[in-house]
Amino acid sequence: MSTLHPVIAEVTQRIIERSRPTRSAYLARIDEACGKGVYRHRLGCSNLAHAFAASGSDKVALRGTVTPNVGIVTSYNDMLSAHQPYEPYPEQIRQAARLVGAVAQVAGGVPAMCDGVTQGRAGMELSLFSREVIAMATAVALSHDTYDAVLMLGICDKIVPGLLTAALSFGHLPTIFVPAGPMVSGLSNDKKSKVRQAYAEGKATREELLEAESAAYHAPGTCTFYGTANSNQMLMEIMGLHLPGASFVTPNTLLRDALTRAAVYRAVAITALGQEYTPIGHLVDERTIVNGVIGLHATGGSTNHLLHLVAVARAAGIILTLEDFDALSAVVPLLARVYPNGSADVNHFHQSGGMPFLIGSLLDAGLLHGDVRTVWGEGMAPYRRMPALDADGKLVWNEVTASSNLDVLRPAAEPFRADGGLRVLKGNLGLSVIKVSSVPADCMVVEAPAVIFNDQEEMLAAFNRGELERDLVAVVRFQGPKAIGMPELHKLTPPLGVLQSRGFHVALVTDGRMSGASGKIPAAIHVTPEAIDAGPLGKLRDGDVVRLDAVAGTLEAKVDPAEWAARPQAVADLSAHHSGMGRELFAMMRNAVGGADTGVTVFGTRDRHHAADL
């Protein structure tokens, strides 16, 4: 392992200094919650009897004072392909726990919505807020104070950040995240996207589109493109919260089952009852968070994590800023090409060497904190190894020293690009972020007249009427968290892609989200302050020239400053977005949520304000 890169060391130290007051208060709080012996014996006899009343053969162990109890928080449901494989996990975990002198109980379930199902629909306006609901539901599950370690069963977009936020609130408990893996490869993402674009141009039928989508999303497991769900899995591994090499082993295989059992054994070993007590609140420190940001840059991960990692860090008393992402992106090279940043899927990535090769390459180049604590022990070195079953069916780990496909995964000395491809943009239109890892070089700067929309459907209708056949910057505003919950705007990618392929210079500017699938379209997203919060997007008018410069890191309206200052703020009637499909129940979230730069969270308002003063 090489000496740590000076910029990574500098950014980490800056985060440590900035976070000192909030981090110290957090650690004091979780240390106060630590105890000796099993946690359930803090309960009175009546409380304890309730806790094991339905536990059958495990009752005797739960009555005792030396048997650790592993809590299971599950996001299983039948509809979400990534989470459907979790159905048998609780019984598998209970059986594995008994083999090592422990017991396990399902502590609770959390909602798990599929953004693929709600994309472009009213339900998508609840999607980001579901992260907070998941965190609160997990807190309810763990509030019984009867568990000595926790296994988190979650994979997809908002589920893992919500589970991790809650886990950090219960930071005295050892916690391991247990994945279920990606679906086996189906129709390639490139072929699927071509059918989507043909459909957007009226050259493919709905039946042809449905056939393509069904061939791409066809089995249990995560979708195979590298969006937020698979970025989550990368993060849990590079942050040391998965077992080594566990992220991308496909569901319903012997190896997957062996890794799940090993996670149970390890969770029992790191409780306060053993010699390796590893509370998650101490494990996830400033270095761990920086490692997560580095992994995001090195793999071209989802822009949603510029929200999620900020929110998660704050749950541990750590103040992470967009400037930290920007500084790290400048020195962390892009080592992976996985769709939409390439043609490969996550199975190809895993087969090429996957997370073990990626982590090893970063360590060798001094681009990763190797001295962190993980659920597997001290240091990141074990994460250079890939799990496998030997001839006897025993779980073993083998070191990965080379990539088997340099078109998918490269060493740090031969990167796909010298930087991570995530940039922060600043200017008179506010603060925003852009993912440029798959944006063509000649599209990195777009200067064109703005075409303003207050709803994504307005833009789609304009495209269908043939009104957007020119150079333009499409501005889709009033999409932020306070306005309508900050939905993803993936439906805009195909028409913008059509315009770009026809030779027009186009870009998107929005206070909404685009996730990990914005692809080749330059998109300034997460614009903050958002339009409804007196943000500058509300001052833009049709025809204003907007310059998006991903090279210089700027986003500017080319309007005379005096005229700009005098302009009134636009307003929009958003009432149609505030009721129906459960949206009326989330008014409190819209009223309380913070901005994109602080993680779009309703938690820790006082900490947010304090951090702003640091």
Binding-site entries for [4Fe-4S] cluster: 156, 223
* 3-state SS assignment for residue 183: coil
* 3-state SS assignment for residue 162: helix
What residues are paired with 545 via a beta bridge? 449
- Residues 6 or more apart whose Cβ sits within 8 Å of residue 525: 303, 432, 433, 434, 508, 510, 511, 512, 513, 514, 518
Residue 452: count other Cβ atoms within 10 Å of its Cβ: 20
3-state helix/strand/coil string of 209-266? HHHHHHHHCCCCCECCCCCHHHHHHHHHHHCCCCCCCCCCCCCCCHHHHHHHHHHHHH
What stretches of 61-102 adopt beta strand conformation (E)?
A: 69-74
Which H/E stretch holds residue 605?
helix 605-613
Note whether 595 and 530 are within 8 A (CB).
yes
Q: Which two tokens stand for residue 199?
A: 């459909």
* 3-state SS assignment for residue 22: helix
- Residues 6 or more apart whose Cβ sits within 8 Å of residue 346: 182, 222, 224, 225, 226, 230, 248, 338
| Whole-angstrom distance, CA of residue 86 vs CA of residue 268 | 20
Four-point Cα dihedral 342, 203, 488, 136, nearest 10: -90
Pick out the residues of the known binding site. 156, 223
From the centroid of its chain, how far is CA 505? 30
Q: Count H helices and E strands in the chain, helices first.
A: 23, 16
Q: How far is CA 403 from CA 283, 358, 400, 488, 580, in A?
A: 29, 9, 8, 34, 50
The C-alpha angle 239, 245, 249, rounded to 5 degrees, equals: 120
C-alpha closest to that of 151 among 70, 40, 255: 70
Residues in the chain: 614
Q: Which two tokens stand for residue 53?
A: 């009343």
Which residue carries 């309007």 as its tokens? 559
Burial letters 163-177, b for 16+ CB under 10 A, else e? bbbbbbbbbbbbbbb
